[in-house]
Structure 1
Amino acid sequence: MASSMKDLEINKAVDTASATSDQAAAKEKHDDKHQSTESIHSRDDSGIALDKTEAKKKWFHWHEPGTSKADKKLIFKLDWFLLSYSCLCFFIKYLDQTNISNAYVSGMEEDLGFGPGNQLSWMNTYFSIGVIIGGPISNIVLTVVRPRIWLPSCLFVWSLFVLFLFKCNTASQFYGLRFCVGLAESAAWPGIQYVLGCWYKRSEMASRSGLFVMSGVLGQMFSGYLQSALFDGMEGKGGLSAWRWLFIFDFILAIPVVIYGFIFYPDTPQNTTAFYLTEWEKNRARQRIEEEGRTPVGKLDLTVLKRIFQSWQLYAFSIAYAFWSLTAGSYVMQYFELWLKALGTYSVPQINNIPTSMGAINFAFMVGTGIVADKIGRRGPVFFGVGCLLTFCYAVFTAWPASKGLKMAAFILTGCYGCYTPLLAASVNISCSNDPQLRAFVMAFMVSLGSAVVIPFQQYQFPSGDAPTFSKTHGWASGLVFVIALTLWTGFGIDFVQRIMTRNSDKKQHDSAEVPDSIDV
């Protein structure tokens, strides 16, 4: 570069025409400065000219920098129809998953004479058993039945079982129907995640998965508000208690979502018949995924299984998710409601409304931790920070001090537990990004393992009959042990294992690359 500048100066001294060359060089340098970051985005593999306007790097973007206008139009349609249904379905899923505890503290326990037993815990258990059994079955069916048919059908079926709950009068009836709800509802999470991954690029999935998960948090919160409103306005109407009306209204809310899914859900790029997508957009959707090297993963043979079970990711992330499940954090909102009810100073609407503050904390931490993790490029420190807060909360529960305000704050702040799910999912996606079979298996296995281990744990360590102190079973102390284990493992353990395994892998590659130089004869 320096020599070229000297040549220009010499030419300027002997040739008056060099002024024009200087201007051209200056213009070229100016253009290079502004186009250096956009040159790689100037045209994609499909030959589509991309948007040349490259803004400064932001902490958040909805589209990949340099996305063409045609691609933005395609993505807008996917967001409008595919993502909107995904969010609505997940909203209904968590609405129906949470409604049982709202009903329990809103008159069900007294009306049906459940008393101090563990009926609520068993309702949770039967639901979880249904989820564990139904998940693998749903994944198999999804390979032969169109998602546009299968997923809305599952939503309709589990909503029917939710509707039938309003007629229940015995605990065994609730157990059977809760199992059926879990069995049908198990299709929602893996099915929707699968379809989203078929349409969106990796760089587009993070923000949309976050929105998808947050819709479930809003569903948890809305269930409390709905039960509160029904208690004020529908108690005794039609000869039904307000808690029975909750199941009826949950069914009514699901019907428009079912119809919306049957009409607008786009299936996958390979078999879509969506009327709102042009033929070019359908072809472009397939091409976008192929550009990332994401092709069908093929058969699951012994070679693949050997690679999976020899991977460090399978064990590191499964242990993390098991620790997270064994904290029983997903049930703390129920325990919050039971504590408020046991105090005897709060009305039924207050018992349903106050715990929704946990959902607000959950929402805030999902957004905040995702931003921080992307900003610093590491998830270990974020895991550790959230784990320290959870440790404080569980320490308060274990000590169970006289201060009502301190316990109230601990319950509300425990809402931060929810951010672990998207952070762990992101960690799996990143560490297994080059192996789709490993990524899919690890994601499914860790969730199944977490669901399996928490069933006996919450049943025997956190029986609803011993709520909210769980002094007989030492439930909070057990939870505290797993919170500490979760904090240390996700904060330091996973990173340590990854560094060791990466170093060993690099060493093997380096050793295999060191071969004797060939000799020319």
Structure 2
Amino acid sequence: MATVNPTTADIQHDITNIGKDDSAKNSTTSKTNDLESLSSERRPVAKWYHWHEPGTSPQEKRLILKIDFFLLSISCLIFFIKQVDGNNVNNAYVSGMSEELNMGPGDELSWMNTYFSIGTIVGGTFANMVITIIKPRYWLSLCLMIWSVFVLAMYKCNTAPQMYVLRFFIGLFESAVWPGVMWCLGSWYRKSELARRSGLFVMSGVVGGMFSGYLQAALYTGMNGKQGLSAWRWLFIFDFILAIPVAFYAFFCHPDTPDKTEAWYFTEWEKKRALERMEEDGRKPTGKLDWTVLRRTFGTWQVYAFTLGYSFWCLTCGSFVLQYFSLYLKATGRFSVPQINNIPTALGAVNFVTMISTGYIADKIGTRWPVCLTIGLIMTFNYAVLTVWNVPHTLRMVVFILHGVYGCFTPLLAGWTNECCGGDQQKRALVLGFMVSVGQAVVIPFQQIQMPSGSAPEFKKTHGWGSSLAWVVILTVWTGFCIPLLQRRYGKEKAGSISESADETGEP
């Protein structure tokens, strides 16, 4: 075989090309760095006010817009009606019902709330398991129509016991709403999207409570005595009328869940992408409704942690402060009936602002305990002032109104539950429903013994405000420190078990 010896010209040619190659490589590297620098400059930056995750494609933004428009609007409208119907008894009570039905200074209003709570206890867990079998658009719209019929029947009541029976059945069917809608929201939205949407949902209930006050004030001024009916009776009639179009809207337009949706407004790509979004978020729909759901739920930490958190929140009687505020305004003798209905809506305005801000902050920082801790400290101040009670009238008015911050706890806890329960749909439903049932169960004796309406607004003999203050402190510690510690501990254990499993199989 002949050997080829390089010539001097060949060697010089190679040396020249090496220099050119190095120069070309340097040029390419420089251009790549320039492109990377330019790309990093154009890379989307997360902002406090963003509604979508940075880098979301236009197609996915359209999908989220549809979910927001239909699912979120339906959820808000249903909860709006629920809260209107939940507050109407209080508005009716201070607008002539107690006098017309000869209720006197007793605890009839507290008993109306108690029978409503009993209905919620009975229906809460069951209703939220049904929603995993019957499509939400059928179940929620049906429950709305049934409880609205019972609301309508209240305008015919002439005794307190009649009210108690109807309030029980209203609570029974209303129990499907809060856990059911929260479950639906958790089925469609990512963890980084959930807190602010949950906040908007609960905020609609705040608006509903405010609207009930405005409606009763308007009816008292313009409809009192029409057709021989008192203004408080007209309130129940109008509440029923408001519910009808919402029920039809929910029936025809609710998207159900991503794995079962047949919504007419989604494209095939959007239906597929909705499922992929949950899988990417680590919440692919899993689980089935059988007896193992009890082990999957009660054998884990989430059900105990969040049920205790929700129960502590209920025991503060925060959701009843609106009615205590109305009773305080009536007891002062300084305000007219329309003012007694209108002034407490300022509490709802504070709730409105708090819902928006805390939802955004929780989504932005990616955790909920700092927000719970902050709100808990504000509530501690409010209850401390009310416990002292002997303070100027203006300060009492301020803390009653500032108490509107309490409402953000429910969407924060619900979003936290959805996040920690992952894609197990039946487990999420059972935990959310169980939270509501237990919370309503524990608050019944507390409200009747410590904060009966007959002792409002000071609760001097029963020490109601002091008892609630103690529960606020416990709630603040539990949500601000204990739940995060549980989540961190058991999250690490889960990660460790996954890592061990991977080592055994030899996979990364």
The corresponding residue for 1:41 is none
Secondary structure (helix, strand or coil) at the match of 2:390 reads coil
Comparing 166-175 and 81-90, the one that deviates more: 81-90
The corresponding residue for 1:40 is none
Kindly indicate whether residue 112 of structure 2 is the aligned counterpart of residue 131 of structure 1: no
Q: CA RMSD in A?
A: 2.9
Kindly indicate whether residue 21 of structure 2 is the aligned counterpart of residue 31 of structure 1: no
Kindly indicate whether residue 366 of structure 2 is the aligned counterpart of residue 366 of structure 1: no
The corresponding residue for 1:170 is 159
Contact in 2 for aligned 1:62/1:207 (Cα 8 Å): no
For residues 100-499 of structure 1, what are the structure 2 equivalents within 5 Å? 100-292=89-281, 293-302=283-292, 305-306=294-295, 308-433=297-422, 439-499=428-488
Once residues 354 and 12 of structure 1 are traced to their aligned partners in structure 2, the CA distance between those partners, rounded to angstroms, is: 88
Once residues 446 and 267 of structure 1 are traced to their aligned partners in structure 2, the CA distance between those partners, rounded to angstroms, is: 22
Deviations 1:291-338 (A, max 9, x none): 445123125445x64454343333332222221111111101000000
Once residues 465 and 150 of structure 2 are traced to their aligned partners in structure 1, the CA distance between those partners, rounded to angstroms, is: 33
Once residues 16 and 360 of structure 2 are traced to their aligned partners in structure 1, the CA distance between those partners, rounded to angstroms, is: 53
Comparing 124-133 and 28-37, the one that deviates more: 28-37
TM-score by length of 2: 0.88
Once residues 163 and 254 of structure 1 are traced to their aligned partners in structure 2, the CA distance between those partners, rounded to angstroms, is: 10
The corresponding residue for 1:49 is none
Residues 145 and 174 of structure 1, relative CA distance in 2, 3 Å threshold: same
Contact in 1 for aligned 2:125/2:437 (Cα 8 Å): no
Contact in 1 for aligned 2:129/2:429 (Cα 8 Å): no
Structure possessing the higher relative contact order (Cα contacts under 8 Å, 6 or more residues apart): 2
Once residues 163 and 102 of structure 1 are traced to their aligned partners in structure 2, the CA distance between those partners, rounded to angstroms, is: 15
Deviations 1:223-269 (A, max 9, x none): 11111111111111111111111111111111121221222223333
Contact in 2 for aligned 1:166/1:247 (Cα 8 Å): yes
Deviations 1:189-209 (A, max 9, x none): 222223333333333333322
1:273 CA drift (Å): 3.3
Deviations 1:54-73 (A, max 9, x none): 42211242223222222222
Residues 508 and 290 of structure 1, relative CA distance in 2, 3 Å threshold: closer
Residues 76 and 498 of structure 1, relative CA distance in 2, 3 Å threshold: closer
Deviations 1:146-196 (A, max 9, x none): 322221121111111111111111001111111111111112122222333
Once residues 92 and 466 of structure 1 are traced to their aligned partners in structure 2, the CA distance between those partners, rounded to angstroms, is: 29
Secondary structure (helix, strand or coil) at the match of 2:249 reads helix
Residues 21 and 97 of structure 1, relative CA distance in 2, 3 Å threshold: same
Once residues 12 and 495 of structure 1 are traced to their aligned partners in structure 2, the CA distance between those partners, rounded to angstroms, is: 65
The percentage of aligned residue pairs carrying the same residue is: 56
1:376 CA drift (Å): 4.6
Residues 493 and 279 of structure 1, relative CA distance in 2, 3 Å threshold: closer
Contact in 2 for aligned 1:12/1:18 (Cα 8 Å): no
1:13 CA drift (Å): 11
1:426 CA drift (Å): 3.1
Once residues 357 and 67 of structure 1 are traced to their aligned partners in structure 2, the CA distance between those partners, rounded to angstroms, is: 37
Residues 28 and 391 of structure 1, relative CA distance in 2, 3 Å threshold: same
The corresponding residue for 2:47 is 58
Once residues 268 and 373 of structure 1 are traced to their aligned partners in structure 2, the CA distance between those partners, rounded to angstroms, is: 24
1:125 CA drift (Å): 0.7
Once residues 265 and 432 of structure 1 are traced to their aligned partners in structure 2, the CA distance between those partners, rounded to angstroms, is: 23
Residues 511 and 144 of structure 1, relative CA distance in 2, 3 Å threshold: closer
| Structure 2 unaligned blocks of 5 or more | 1-14
Comparing 364-373 and 500-509, the one that deviates more: 500-509
Secondary structure (helix, strand or coil) at the match of 1:277 reads coil
Residues 170 and 74 of structure 1, relative CA distance in 2, 3 Å threshold: same
Deviations 1:80-120 (A, max 9, x none): 22221111111111111111101110111111110011110
Once residues 288 and 510 of structure 1 are traced to their aligned partners in structure 2, the CA distance between those partners, rounded to angstroms, is: 24
1:129 CA drift (Å): 1.1
Once residues 222 and 488 of structure 1 are traced to their aligned partners in structure 2, the CA distance between those partners, rounded to angstroms, is: 34
Once residues 395 and 217 of structure 1 are traced to their aligned partners in structure 2, the CA distance between those partners, rounded to angstroms, is: 24
Once residues 124 and 34 of structure 1 are traced to their aligned partners in structure 2, the CA distance between those partners, rounded to angstroms, is: 62
Contact in 2 for aligned 1:12/1:19 (Cα 8 Å): no
Contact in 1 for aligned 2:121/2:438 (Cα 8 Å): no
Once residues 140 and 504 of structure 1 are traced to their aligned partners in structure 2, the CA distance between those partners, rounded to angstroms, is: 29
Contact in 1 for aligned 2:314/2:439 (Cα 8 Å): yes
Once residues 513 and 286 of structure 1 are traced to their aligned partners in structure 2, the CA distance between those partners, rounded to angstroms, is: 26
Once residues 393 and 123 of structure 1 are traced to their aligned partners in structure 2, the CA distance between those partners, rounded to angstroms, is: 26
| Structure 1 unaligned blocks of 5 or more | 1-10, 38-52
Residues 507 and 185 of structure 1, relative CA distance in 2, 3 Å threshold: closer
Once residues 375 and 498 of structure 1 are traced to their aligned partners in structure 2, the CA distance between those partners, rounded to angstroms, is: 19
1:380 CA drift (Å): 3.4
Residues 308 and 286 of structure 1, relative CA distance in 2, 3 Å threshold: closer
Once residues 188 and 499 of structure 2 are traced to their aligned partners in structure 1, the CA distance between those partners, rounded to angstroms, is: 37
Residues 198 and 115 of structure 1, relative CA distance in 2, 3 Å threshold: same
1:76 CA drift (Å): 2.0
